[in-house]
Chains A and B, each alone.
Chain A
Amino acid sequence: MFGEIFVEVNVVNKPKKQYVAMKGTKDGLTLHLDDTCSYDELLKELDEKLAINETDEQDGPFIAVRLHVGNRYLTHEQEERLRAIIRAKKNLVVDSIESNVMTKQEALEWKRKNEIVSVAKIVRSGQVLHVKGDLLLIGDVNPGGTVIASGNIFIMGALRGIAHAGYDGNRQAIIAASIMKPTQLRISDVMNRAPDYRTDEGNEMECAYIDENDQIVVDRLQLLTHLRPNLTRLERSF
């Protein structure tokens, strides 16, 4: 009984803080959601705010909504409930939900995906080297050996076996080798094999990528600057 009264008083006396701030931009609507209040309170206020601002036009254009949730971590279910509330209002479509925080697991996964894994060894016949992220191999891949990476593959040695870059479906991935004499090249789901005749010229400092015709082409390493500008990760300019 006492507790009930106490809660009543508290709610009445405390000046109401705005948990949801709306901003209209030319791209649509941006909602800044407070990250200190409870999730339930947030949902309640979001629902009320949107109800007030609901337009009467039944078939106006769709408005993209971007949510900024600050330092609040949302589980998948929580995100879905937010989306459901917004979707229930007419003309509103959730474009993105941005949060400043992620779980440790997600962060590690993200780090692994973007890391360059360096390995110093010779991948011999029958051996398979599989890494997440980019692979920097300091050594050779001998015939019958295989290297696989979800990102790019850089080989500071001779590639004489099989290399598979972009294993998880990244078609932008490339394969570069000091000596490019592979039996097979694979990038994402595209495959290319060595010609049946043996050539001895060239094959030094080359890279392989998927071109606009969905074919793997091998070319000079220097062309990568234009083909894949994203490969440069140096943030300072020089």
Chain B
Amino acid sequence: MGEAIVITSGKGGVGKTTTTANLGTALALLGKRVCLVDTDIGLRNLDVIMGLENRIIYDLVDVVEGRCAVQKALVKDKRFDDLLYLLPAAQTSDKSAVTPEQMKQLIDELKQDYDYVLIDCPAGIEQGYKNAVAGADQAIVVTTPDVSAVRDADRIIGLLEKEENIRPPRLIINRIRSHMVKNHDMLDIDEIVMHLSIDLLGIIADDDNVIKASNNGEPIVLDPNSKASLAYRNIARRLLGESVPLLSLEDEENKGLLAKIKKFFGVRS
């Protein structure tokens, strides 16, 4: 019996879908059987980021309405041998096409076959959100270091805490720009974690390569040299229960010799 994890944020555009794609891929890289479920009915994106758009035949609404079996609608990721699957959202219906009860039943069915079921939640707190959290056992809240994103994350955490079947949510802070944080132009990590007071699962630095990779339909995790890739892999390991220290946000290459010497002697800059 697998674990169903919903990835949510409240606010749109903070990187829920990118996080879902990369975490799923990272878990598959670690040898787990993973199924990604896109619940953003009407505005599906996860298939595009995974590069699986052209293989979609059936979607989530077809499964829920009994037009096909779950196995038939699942899209297999050829990069992984039988480890990574995607259940795409419908593009022709909207959020009201599915009820939370139907979603729960569907997720329960998927949990039989997979180690991890990652549910990509749409933005907002309405029907789409309710559908997405219905079958989840765990929740990951994604936020960026913006006041508005943190505010919405706070709201979502409040709603998630009311769900009886979901364990306390954990936090991913996405798109951190280290130079802005250093100049106090952006909220820093401690401030956000203290404010939201939930466990921090990981931090991801802002990286142009993430956008490039997503546009190519290749999750950044597949590129072993990117810092964001390492951050996602670390988060996947933490999900499996390993304890992995947080990545440093500082760019080593940009540092002067003095800073490197200081670091060597343990002096904090």
Contacts and interface: CB of A to CB of B under 8 A. Distances in A.
Contacts of B154: 124-125, 142-145
A202 interface: no
B104 interface: no
Contacts of B32: none
10 contacts: A122-B197, A124-B155, A124-B158, A125-B152, A125-B154, A127-B158, A143-B151, A143-B154, A145-B154, A145-B158
Contacts of A140: 195, 197
A126 interface: yes
A125 B143 CA distance: 15
Given A126-B158, A142-B154, 11 more contacts: A122-B197, A125-B154, A125-B158, A126-B155, A126-B159, A127-B158, A140-B195, A140-B197, A143-B154, A144-B154, A144-B155
B201 interface: no
- Max chain A Cβ within 10 angstroms of own Cβ: one of B155, B158, B195, B196: B158
Interface residues of B, number: 11
A47 B131 CA distance: 73
B157 interface: yes
Interface string B215-229: 000000000000000
Interface in A153-182: 160
Interface of B: 151-152, 154-155, 157-159, 161, 195-197
A122 B198 CA distance: 11
Nearest to A140: B197
Interface in A85-144: 122, 124-127, 140, 142-144
A119 B157 CA distance: 18
A125 B10 CA distance: 12
A127 B157 CA distance: 11
A234 B161 CA distance: 37
Nearest to A142: B154
A145 B197 CA distance: 15
Contacts of A126: 155, 158-159
Candidate in A125, A127, A143, A145 with the most chain B CB atoms within 10 angstroms:
A125
A124 B160 CA distance: 11
Nearest to B195: A142
User: Which 7 A-B pairs have CB atoms at the shortest separation, nearest pair first?
Assistant: A124-B158, A125-B155, A125-B154, A126-B155, A124-B154, A142-B154, A127-B158
Most B-side CB within 10 Å, residue of A126, A144, A145: A126
Contacts of B152: 125
A127 B151 CA distance: 12
Nearest to B152: A125
A48 B154 CA distance: 71
Most buried by A among B154, B155, B195: B154
A161 B155 CA distance: 13
Contacts of B197: 122, 140
Nearest to B160: A124
Contacts of A125: 151-152, 154-155, 158
Nearest to A139: B197
Contacts of A127: 158
Contact of A144 (B151, B159, B161, B196): B151
Contacts of B158: 124-127, 145
Contacts of B159: 126
B199 to A, nearest CB: 14
A127 B196 CA distance: 14
A124 B162 CA distance: 12
A218 B158 CA distance: 29
Nearest to B147: A143
Nearest to B10: A125
A174 B197 CA distance: 27
A142 B152 CA distance: 11
A122 B160 CA distance: 13
Contacts of A122: 197
Contacts of A160: 195
Nearest to A122: B197
